[in-house]
């Protein structure tokens, strides 16, 4: 891997000593450097790494008017020997390019992505703290930068990577509301893409759920609102008895990297798993019978987030507190791979 073509503009002084790594507010503190690459005249230009700071855009940049913006979420981990690892980074590159294609944006070259990310992480290695749960959150994103307000795809783009130190994510007790009116996405839409607008569209219905005492929404299908699909920024799993169930991927559901890892771990650890449509009626019925043991969300930030209860049609249900939950089992298995504390038979862990 040769990253010598990537020009680095050195920082004058690191700000790392001003950061309290024991009191991090997720996604609000950023490291010293950022990666940047512009797309002009039909091709990606030579990437650069420069001090983290504001970028200048014309007020008519198409991203502001037509929403051409996609992003990814990744993490870098450091083991006890100070070695740095990524988790399935090839999947993140595939997905950001898949998202870009759906929004008529150009794919980003694989060598630029991995050379740039590797060089960036080596520069910022001191921002990756050891310890189970500590990580450096990685946010690659692409925006349309051409100054023009005609309703057509941009001709210019900017690909960037910024880094934010993170501690173990704990959301407290999470109760969810099953959606009955609003939808996250529809057939033929952009639900499968990590498009910025998908998340903006969630904020209002989620704020209504907050007022009712719920922390998140589990989105249902747009046509009937009868089938459970995704929770907020997470994929969702249900445990009925000893069986694990999750909704299948479609053009409404994000192809979560943590999700597909959990499915593989379940298969290899003797846990019965079904990937199929999951109805609201089925889950409510299982809860009434005492057969619904767990609901948990999966994603990069939280890894696995247990859900303690849910509401639907003015009914509320509490889930049992389990000593040996699937959620804790999978979280430990997955994090042991990520932090190089166990064998990785899948080749998911990539040393930087």
Whether 189 and 275 share a structural domain? yes
Structure tokens at 294: 């767990």
Give the span between the Cα atoms of 352 and 333, in whole angstroms: 21
Helix (H, G, I), strand (E, B) or coil at 17: helix
Helix (H, G, I), strand (E, B) or coil at 93: helix
Whether 31 and 161 share a structural domain? yes
User: Total structural domains in the chain?
Assistant: 2
Whether 12 and 143 share a structural domain? yes
Q: Give the CATH number, domain containing residue 322.
A: 3.20.10.10
Where among 166, 191, 207 does a domain terminate? 166
As a whole-number percent, the residues of the chain with pLDDT over 90 amount to 94
Model confidence pLDDT, tens digit, residues 285-337: 999 999 999 999 999 988 999 999 999 999 999 999 999 999 999 999 999 99
Long-range contacts of 188-191 (CB under 8 A, 24+ apart): 188/251, 189/251, 189/252, 190/102, 190/103, 191/230, 191/250, 191/251, 191/252, 191/253, 191/254
Give the span between the Cα atoms of 198 and 6, in whole angstroms: 32
Whether 207 and 126 share a structural domain? no
The answer as to whether 255 is a domain residue is yes
Give residue 14's pLDDT: 98
Model confidence pLDDT, tens digit, residues 193-241: 999 999 999 999 999 999 999 999 999 999 999 999 998 789 999 999 9
The answer as to whether 70 is a domain residue is yes
Give residue 169's pLDDT: 75
Give residue 287's pLDDT: 98
The answer as to whether 11 is a domain residue is yes
Whether 67 and 201 share a structural domain? no
Where among 136, 166, 196 does a domain terminate? 166
Domain that holds residue 85: 7-166
Whether 272 and 308 share a structural domain? yes
Q: 300, 43 in Cβ contact below 8 A?
A: no
Burial 336-351 (b: 16+ CB within 10 A, else e): ebbbbeeeeeeebbbe
Checking if the pLDDT of 171 tops 80, the result is no
Whether 294 and 186 share a structural domain? yes
Whether 108 and 194 share a structural domain? no
- Model confidence pTM above 0.75: yes
Whether 90 and 22 share a structural domain? yes
Average pLDDT in the chain: 96
The answer as to whether 345 is a domain residue is no
The answer as to whether 110 is a domain residue is yes
The answer as to whether 351 is a domain residue is no
Whether 142 and 214 share a structural domain? no
The answer as to whether 85 is a domain residue is yes
188 burial type by CB count under 10 A (0-12 exposed, 13-18 middle, 19+ buried): exposed
Model confidence pLDDT, tens digit, residues 114-147: 999 999 999 999 999 999 999 999 999 999 999 9
Where among 107, 138, 166 does a domain terminate? 166
Query: Which pLDDT band, with edges at 50, 70 and 90, does 173 fall under?
Result: confident
Q: Give the CATH number, domain containing residue 119.
A: 3.30.470.10
Give the span between the Cα atoms of 27 and 24, in whole angstroms: 8
Give the span between the Cα atoms of 278 and 247, in whole angstroms: 6
Give residue 269's pLDDT: 97
Contacts of 316 (CB under 8 A, 6+ apart): 309, 310
The answer as to whether 221 is a domain residue is yes
Task: Summarize the confidence of residues 266-280 as an average pLDDT.
Answer: 98
**What are the start-end ranges of the H helices in the chain?**
62-66, 89-102, 110-123, 196-211, 257-268, 280-288, 326-338
Whether 152 and 211 share a structural domain? no
Query: Which pLDDT band, with edges at 50, 70 and 90, does 2 fall under?
Result: confident
Burial 290-304 (b: 16+ CB within 10 A, else e): eebbbbbbbbbbbbb
Q: Which of 301, 296, 283, 291 is nearest to 330 (CA)?
A: 296
Whether 311 and 257 share a structural domain? yes
């Amino acid at each position: 891997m040769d990253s010598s073509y990537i020009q680095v503009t050195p920082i004058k002084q690191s700000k790392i000593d001003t950061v309290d790594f024991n009191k991090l507010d997720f996604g609000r503190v950023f490291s010293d450097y950022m990666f940047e690459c512009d797309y002009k005249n039909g091709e990606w230009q030579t990437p650069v790494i420069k001090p983290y700071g504001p970028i200048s855009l014309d007020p008519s940049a198409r991203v502001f008017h037509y929403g051409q913006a996609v992003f990814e979420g990744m993490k870098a981990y450091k083991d006890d020997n100070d070695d740095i690892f990524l988790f399935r980074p090839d999947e993140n590159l595939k997905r950001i390019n898949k998202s870009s294609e759906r929004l008529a944006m150009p794919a980003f070259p694989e060598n630029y992505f991995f050379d740039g990310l590797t060089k960036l992480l080596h520069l910022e290695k001191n921002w990756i703290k050891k310890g189970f749960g500590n990580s450096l959150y990685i946010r690659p994103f692409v925006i349309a930068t051409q100054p023009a307000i005609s309703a057509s795809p941009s001709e210019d783009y900017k690909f960037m990577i910024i880094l934010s130190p993170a501690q173990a994510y704990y959301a407290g007790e999470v109760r969810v509301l099953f959606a009955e009116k609003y939808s996250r996405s529809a057939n033929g839409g952009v639900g499968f893409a990590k498009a910025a607008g998908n998340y903006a569209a969630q904020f209002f219905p989620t704020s209504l759920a907050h007022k009712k005492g719920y922390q998140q929404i589990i989105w249902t299908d747009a046509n009937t609102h009868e089938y459970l699909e995704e929770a907020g920024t997470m994929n969702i799993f249900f445990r009925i008895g000893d069986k694990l169930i999750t909704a299948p991927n479609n053009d409404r559901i994000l192809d979560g990297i943590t999700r597909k890892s959990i499915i593989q771990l379940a298969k290899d650890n003797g846990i019965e798993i079904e990937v199929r449509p999951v109805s609201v009626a089925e889950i409510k019925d299982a809860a009434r019978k005492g057969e619904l043991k767990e609901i948990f969300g999966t994603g990069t930030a939280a890894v696995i987030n247990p859900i303690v209860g849910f509401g639907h049609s003015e009914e509320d249900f509490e889930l049992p507190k389990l000593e040996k939950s699937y959620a804790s089992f999978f979280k430990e298995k997955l994090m042991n791979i990520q932090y190089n504390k166990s064998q990785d038979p899948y080749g998911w862990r990539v040393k930087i």
